Amino acid sequence: METKETVQVNSESVFNVTDLSVSYGDFVAIKNVNMDITKNKITAFIGPSGCGKSTLIRSFNRMNDLILGAKVNGTITYQGVDLYDKMVDPVQVRRRIGMVFQKPNPFPKTIKENITFGLKVNNMTDNMDDRVEKALTQAALWDEVKDDLDKNALELSGGQQQRLCIARTIAVEPDTILMDEPCSALDPVATKKIEDLMQELVKEFSILIVTHNMQQASRSSDYCAFFTTKTSDDGKRRTGELVEFNETSVMFTTPDKELTEQYISGRFG
């Protein structure tokens, strides 16, 4: 406990979120979010379906820009820079803040090309073979695919595909990885591999992960944010809100809020 405490005091934050709300047209998906995300730690977002946690994570690399009518209010600063400043180029943002999606989405190309695509896009064309090997090794996939680099990525198993997606994300050397329920389409064995991998990756990257899986959050995250939906007075609108943001060890033993405790112990959600 004590070591954790000191870590928190000394650590820098990679993101500062202030009064953030995200809406799609008239529908407010999530509002009033204030949180600081610590560098080189795993921060998990948990909460029931529809609480806006996926929406929230997509605003950290401006993926919400791609959804028609999506609007972000409030500020997210990334290492001190306002991500939603008019002058900020979302393409540059995404080069530094990578993302792994809920369902593995390898490109219908070879395993190697899946990695080199991002490298080419980011002008990292020197020593490509080394970079491919390094990324696949970091993603704990190299030994399984080193002889099949020219095989179509769609022939890999679901878990391998997801690790390939992680490999292609880290190949372009971002400093933060966003993971939107990366294990929800995987079996327990593949899930375990990804979780172990996260523990390795967090030495180099800051990781934000959305998860439905309470055990996963408690096992693998350092910090945990619990969100829930609040229904408006007329009962028509449901909006996500941040209930509690805490160290994972604290949240899963002595949560501050009654609601958190109920959710974690499975009494609601």
Partner 1 sequence: MENVNDLRDQLTKTITRPIEKIVKFFITASAFAAILISISIIFTLLTEAINFFQDPAVTFKGYFTATRWTPTFQNPEYGVIVLISSTLYIAVIACLISFPLGLFSAIYLSEFATKRTRKVIKPVLEVLAGVPTVVFGYFALNWITPNIIQRFIPGTGVFNALSAGIAVGIMIIPTVASISDDALNAVPNSLRNGSLALGATRRITSLKIMFPAALSGIIASFILGFSRAIGETMIVTIAGGQYPELNLDPRSAMYTITSSIVNVSLGDTPHGTTAYNALFALGITLFIMTFILNIGSDYIARKYRKEYE
**Contact set with partner 1 (CB under 8 A):** 61, 63, 66, 68, 91-92, 94-95, 98-99, 101, 103, 105-109, 117-118, 121-122, 154, 165, 168-169, 172
Q: How far is the CB of 45 from partner 1 (least distance, A)?
A: 17
120 or 237, CB closer to partner 1?
Answer: 120
68 or 87, CB closer to partner 1?
Answer: 68
181 or 222, CB closer to partner 1?
Answer: 181
Q: Which long-range contacts (CB under 8 A, 24 or more apart) does 23-28 make?
A: 23/70, 23/71, 23/73, 24/67, 24/69, 24/70, 24/71, 25/69, 27/237, 28/237, 28/239
Q: How far is the CB of 99 from partner 1 (least distance, A)?
A: 4
41 or 168, CB closer to partner 1?
Answer: 168
Q: How far is the CB of 129 from partner 1 (least distance, A)?
A: 19
Q: How far is the CB of 94 from partner 1 (least distance, A)?
A: 5
Residues 6+ apart with CB under 8 A from 141: 160, 163, 164, 167
The DSSP result for 202-242, as a single string, is TTTSEEEEE-S-HHHHHHH-SEEEEEEEEE-TTS--EEEEE
Contact 100, 174 (CB under 8 A): no
Q: How far is the CB of 185 from partner 1 (least distance, A)?
A: 10
134 or 219, CB closer to partner 1?
Answer: 134
Tokens describing residue 88: 């900020």
